[in-house]
Amino acid sequence: MSAPAKRPRPGSQLSWILRDPRSAVGAAVLALAVAVTVGAPLLTGYGPFDHAGQVFGAPSGAHPFGLDDLGQDVLTQVLYGGRISLLVGITAALVAAVIGGLVGISAGYFGGRADTVLMAVTDYTLIVPGIPLMIAIAAAFGSSLAMIVIMIGVLSWPQTARILRSQVRSVRERTYVRRASVLGVGPARMIRTHVLPQVAPLMIATTVLTVAQAIFVETALAFLGLGDPGRVSWGSMIYNAFDRGAVSAGAWWALIYPGVAVAVVVLACSLVGQAIEAKLNPRSRVPYLSGKRFTVEPVAAEHAAAAAAAPAAATPPLLAVEHLDVWMRNAAGDELHVVRDVSFSLGRADRFALVGESGSGKTTTLMSVLGLLPSNARVRGAIRYEGRDLLAGGEAGMRTVRWKEIAMVFQGSMNSFSPVHTVGAQIVEPMRLHNGASRRAARARAAELVGMVGLPATVLDRYPHELSGGMRQRAAIAMALACDPKVLLADEPTTALDAMVQAQILMLLRRLADELDIAVLLVTHDLASVSLLCGEAAVMQRGALIEQGTVDALYHDPKHPYTRELFGAALDIPVVDAATGKVVPA
């Protein structure tokens, strides 16, 4: 990533706000609300305090929103009341943005003691219950409109300050900002040219959300009789409906319309605010669990016919992947063909590796075996376990083989354990659920398993964060063996570990697979792992298997130019002593 190129132009920051449908709708509603309240005299012939007809008159053609307890037109009151509610909301939010911006940016930019003091003040302000405090102040000092605006603004800034502080801290760490700082650019100029443009969208988001909050607080104060008595606002209309008998008289129209007006404006504000926040913090990760399953298509007709014509083998292979195709739909809606017509099979206790660069489709192939693809995937082909097609069996069929027949060790086991459960609880869980083991039997077996991977039984009561990376990977292997699977899928099982530990883990996998008679399907880009663990391998490139054979043959007699390139680049494969698991110096 070249840091200076990342520096965005300030103007380009805001146009996307209006391109997102949510914020566009929200912004349009807000603009409309401002327009109709400012243009109130053009839309209604009455003044806000004019007597327009019968007390609590029902909605009619002349008074579409009905009349209130003083015979005032409710539509007129909603339009004029909106002026005060929006004015209070917007100005109070600006006050909060100025205070919160100053505090948050100073704390984040200067750090150190200034940060500690400012954040302490922010946290203490945050716990003060705002409404009761404003009630106390308003009761002591009276409540003019300016007073209400200042109070709401002064109590609403802490959220803005907190959010901006963390954003400014991360901006400050960026390379181009640090470089500018080293070049002697002063803080005022730094904040103006580098920090402000970066935090501007976030500031807009929090300010828009504060507008909503401020409108809310205005209705609350008015409801407690602390509003500005000389003016109509949506808050005072709700209060009057409560206080002057509209509710008990059944004149619902005097109550409903001002509340709906508040709800529409607040909802519009939260749409805009949320759309900006979602844009600023995009969720890059696809959820691993979703209510929607990936799509499965039947095997292509020519393959199905060929399979039917072939004589049925006496014993089908343990695991067979047949003509597997996988497509993934990306966020833009385009489908990418990530696995292309892949076929291979695994006999009992075989060791097979899929080798390729990242993005070659090897991990997707592995995930297909256990049906762990995301919901945006489309799959065609067959995955046969002992002859039975798992893809055709749906999620329920998949669950019958998961962990009992086919278990898995994941890449970077740092995160494959849940941080809030003990390692033991997570190893015991599948035994209890799948084998119906008693608590005691499962626990005893778990102790045995961690012993087999060379860990003391005490790790069962430890949390994942208390183990080292190598220990966690051993524990992950113990967990995979819990239900005596016949196939072990291993997805880059050693990448995140240092070289010595990598070799130890691979030796451990080889020994256990030998002892327990387990077939291993390894996915890796690391050729050293392949040579240590597997007898046969297939090379994948751009989703397709391009060459398959014994590891020896692939090394010494590669047929495909890509294979030659891949294996040729790996001359510095460490030699590991099979007995000790130690790397032998060249």
Site for other proteins in 474-503 (CB under 8 A): 479
- Binders of other proteins among residues 151 to 190 (CB under 8 A) are none
Q: Is 532 exposed, middle or buried (0-12, 13-18, 19+ CB in 10 A)?
A: buried
CB of 325 closer than 8 Å to CB of 340:
yes
Distance CA 480, CA 509 (A): 11
Query: With binding defined as CB under 8 A, does residue 340 bind other proteins?
Result: no
- Binders of other proteins among residues 286 to 325 (CB under 8 A) are 286-292
CB of 453 closer than 8 Å to CB of 508:
yes
H-helix or E-strand spanning residue 388: strand 388-389
| Cα–Cα nearest to 286, from 330, 327, 326, 325 | 330
Distance CA 50, CA 284 (A): 56
Distance CA 540, CA 96 (A): 57
Question: Of 297 and 466, which has the nearer Cβ to other proteins?
Answer: 466
Distance CA 44, CA 365 (A): 67
Query: With binding defined as CB under 8 A, does residue 399 bind other proteins?
Result: yes
H-helix or E-strand spanning residue 564: helix 561-568
Q: How many Å from the N-terminal Cα to the C-terminal Cα in the chain?
A: 36
Per CB under 8 A, the list member of 18, 117, 128, 578 interacting with other proteins is: 128
- Binders of other proteins among residues 448 to 477 (CB under 8 A) are 463, 465
**DSSP characters over 333-382:** S-EEEEEEEEEEEE-TT-EEEEE--TTSSHHHHHHHHTT---TTEEEEEE
Per CB under 8 A, the list member of 238, 459, 512, 523 interacting with other proteins is: 238
Per rule CB under 8 A, count of chain residues that contact other proteins: 78
Question: Of 268 and 528, which has the nearer Cβ to other proteins?
Answer: 268
| Cα–Cα nearest to 217, from 124, 274, 154 | 154
Query: With binding defined as CB under 8 A, does residue 220 bind other proteins?
Result: yes
Query: With binding defined as CB under 8 A, does residue 372 bind other proteins?
Result: yes
Question: Of 165 and 194, which has the nearer Cβ to other proteins?
Answer: 165
- Binders of other proteins among residues 375 to 394 (CB under 8 A) are 375
Q: Is 303 helix (H, G, I), strand (E, B) or coil?
A: helix
Per CB under 8 A, the list member of 65, 352, 410, 555 interacting with other proteins is: 410
- Under 8 Å CB-to-CB from 214, ≥6 apart: which residues? 88, 89, 90, 92, 93, 96, 152, 153, 156
Cβ at position 263, least distance to other proteins in Å:
4
By CB under 8 A, which span of 48-56, 57-65, 284-292, 337-345 interacts with other proteins?
Answer: 284-292
Question: Of 208 and 262, which has the nearer Cβ to other proteins?
Answer: 262
Per CB under 8 A, the list member of 54, 415, 495, 580 interacting with other proteins is: 415
| Cα–Cα nearest to 232, from 359, 76, 347, 393 | 76
Distance CA 368, CA 361 (A): 11
Give the alpha-carbon dihedral of 203, 204, 208, 210, to 10 degrees: 20
| Cα–Cα nearest to 454, from 432, 472, 429, 433 | 472
Q: What residue has token string 């009057």?
A: 240
Length of the chain: 586
Per CB under 8 A, the list member of 40, 92, 137, 505 interacting with other proteins is: 137
Query: With binding defined as CB under 8 A, does residue 331 bind other proteins?
Result: no
Q: In this structure, which amino acid lies at residue 348? A: R
- Binders of other proteins among residues 420 to 439 (CB under 8 A) are 420-421, 429-430, 433-434
Output Rg (C-alpha) for the chain, integer angstroms.
Answer: 33
By CB under 8 A, which span of 137-145, 190-198, 513-521, 528-536 interacts with other proteins?
Answer: 137-145
- Binders of other proteins among residues 35 to 54 (CB under 8 A) are none
Query: With binding defined as CB under 8 A, does residue 332 bind other proteins?
Result: no
Cβ at position 259, least distance to other proteins in Å:
4
Question: Of 110 and 216, which has the nearer Cβ to other proteins?
Answer: 216
Per CB under 8 A, the list member of 83, 323, 351, 402 interacting with other proteins is: 402
CB of 424 closer than 8 Å to CB of 461:
yes
Cβ at position 287, least distance to other proteins in Å:
4
Cβ at position 234, least distance to other proteins in Å:
8
Per CB under 8 A, the list member of 9, 285, 440, 556 interacting with other proteins is: 285
Cβ at position 266, least distance to other proteins in Å:
4
Per CB under 8 A, the list member of 408, 490, 528, 538 interacting with other proteins is: 408
Per CB under 8 A, the list member of 77, 122, 210, 416 interacting with other proteins is: 416
Site mask for other proteins (CB under 8 A), range 57-76, x = bound:
--------------------
Per CB under 8 A, the list member of 256, 307, 452, 553 interacting with other proteins is: 256
Site mask for other proteins (CB under 8 A), range 183-212, x = bound:
-----------------------------x
Query: With binding defined as CB under 8 A, does residue 144 bind other proteins?
Result: no
Kindly give the interhelix angle for 234-243 and 252-280, rounded to the nearest 10 degrees: 140
